[in-house]
Amino acid sequence: MKLATIRTGGGTQAVRIDDAHAVELGAPDLGAFLAQPTWRSLAAAADGPRHPLEGLDYAPVVPRPEKIVCVGLNYASHIREMGRELPEHPTLFAKFARALVGAYDEVELPAGSAEVDWEAELGVVVGAEVRHASPSEAQAAIAGYTVVNDVTARDFQYRSVQWLQGKTFERSTPVGPWLVTDVEPGELTCTVDGDVVQKADTADLVFSPADLVAYVSRIVTLVPGDLIATGTPGGVGHARTPARYLGAGSEIVTRIAGVGECRNVCR
């Protein structure tokens, strides 16, 4: 099942994406819809107003999540190729909701940065409130998966040992186009202006989605609509020789097999 938040003439609507139509779910966005304990059965049975798929304007899957938790260094092959040991605990940082854009929106290049980079990532959307979750509780709390690109201003990121300032520029982070339930995510790829720059199997994650939900829930209560970006594999522009960065007009395409695709132009 695919669930999304779309923009309409009257605001936004949570919808189920079917083969020919988007069916309204009776909530203003997917965050509000997931807050209902029986959201899975409600989504399956929904029979609200319909919208043709062609021309849908996708908002970020959850436009205003309470929390956006991001993970660094989480692909085993990438860590090993850098000569590092696998981490014992996840490396966490955060974003704010104003950083998010939809799957086909323009990405706004941060003013004052000359080193804007791509980071294709699997996104995990939380579908139930959890605190101190067991592995099984963590898995059950996952609503589904989405596509994220953690676009990063490297020159701001490395001004200090804390990464936040390089990670949360407004309108910089594509998320979408939908949340997919009951799927095993597959290969992740990122292309920039037609060049394949990242390719990895999401099965290579050091800390799985359920691991991350369980770990983060030990620190803070996770609630429906929270987003966890699970980390990026090798292939980022900053690590190339010479380094390669995004510029005005650059097109980023982020795909995850079984989940979906974001396609964004930088302005």
Backbone phi, psi, residue 79, to 5° = -65, -45
- Per-residue exposure over 196-214, b if at least 16 CB sit within 10 Å of its own CB, e if not: ebbebebeebbbbbbbbbb
The pLDDT score that the predictor gives to residue 82 is 63
What pLDDT score was predicted for residue 85? 85
pLDDT tens-digit map of 139-188: 999 999 999 999 999 999 999 988 899 999 999 999 999 999 999 999 99
Q: Which residues pair with 70 in a beta bridge?
A: 93, 229
Region 1-59: CATH code: 2.30.30
104 Cβ neighbours under 8 A, 6+ residues apart:
58, 176, 177, 262, 263, 264
Q: How far apart are CA 35 and CA 33, in angstroms?
A: 5
Cβ-contact 91, 114 below 8 angstroms: no
The mean pLDDT value for 42-53 works out to 96
Supply the pTM of this predicted model: 0.96
CATH superfamily, domain 60-265, is: Fumarylacetoacetase-like, C-terminal domain (3.90.850.10)
- Residues 6+ away with beta carbon under 8 Å from 225: 30, 31, 32, 34, 35, 62, 65, 66, 125, 126
Domain boundaries, the chain: 1-59, 60-265
How far apart CA 85 and CA 147 sit, in angstroms, is 27
Tell me the pLDDT tens digit for each residue of 6-27: 999 889 999 999 999 999 999 9
Look up residue 36 and give its DSSP letter: S
